[in-house]
Structure 1
């Protein structure tokens, strides 16, 4: 799965250790949950970190939800869950792997 390069314009906030936003590892970088968006620091700007395409997390029997033990990350109109280095989002009766 690739992530589209989508610079977040006029983003004055500097993400980093202690910036106050939930951070999580994502491949070779760190993403930050900020006001319902997922941000990635990229060179001299911040990108909206959104997956391109649809990728089902196969054989994911665990049901995420309140009290499931995984960090919840508000994302747009839904909640993603951080699980084993992945961001899971409920979609049509299964979990997508972001």
Structure 2
């Protein structure tokens, strides 16, 4: 489900794209950018906020070598790109990053 609220800043203030410094995530027919704890996509002269997909547990899917999801080193742990979001294992669940 998408939330179509408008972001706090405009495209003129910051233009997302290659080498902008923010993680790009394919989201259906467009790209969302992970930025300051939220995700958004360009829409004309502003960005629309998009909801992160629902959280799932380690029991539902265990990430690791050969799980089929891209692994990304993130400080002292590994995040996995999964269904348009990025998360890391934390006990019996995943934290969204």
Q: Same fold (TM over 0.5)?
A: yes
Aligned equivalent of 2:67:
none
Please report the RMSD computed on the Cα atoms of aligned residues, expressed in angstroms.
3.5
Larger CA Rg, structure 1 vs 2: 2
Deviation at 1:62, TM superposition (A): 2.2
* 1:73-98 deviation digits (Å, cap 9, x = unpaired): 8xxxxxxx44254315569934599x
* 1:54-75 deviation digits (Å, cap 9, x = unpaired): 4647831226xxxxx72368xx
Distance 1:19 1:41 in 2: 13
Distance 1:85 1:62 in 2: 13
Unaligned regions of 5+ residues in structure 2, if any?
65-69
What SS does the corresponding residue of 1:4 show, helix, strand or coil? coil
Distance 2:37 2:94 in 1: 19
Distance 2:38 2:9 in 1: 14
Q: Relative to structure 1, is the Cα distance of residues 35 and 51 closer, same or farther in structure 2, using a 3 angstrom cutoff?
A: closer
What count of residue pairs does the alignment treat as equivalent? Answer: 85
TM-score (structure 1 length as normaliser): 0.58
Aligned equivalent of 1:66:
none
Aligned equivalent of 1:6:
5
Unaligned regions of 5+ residues in structure 1, if any?
64-68, 74-80
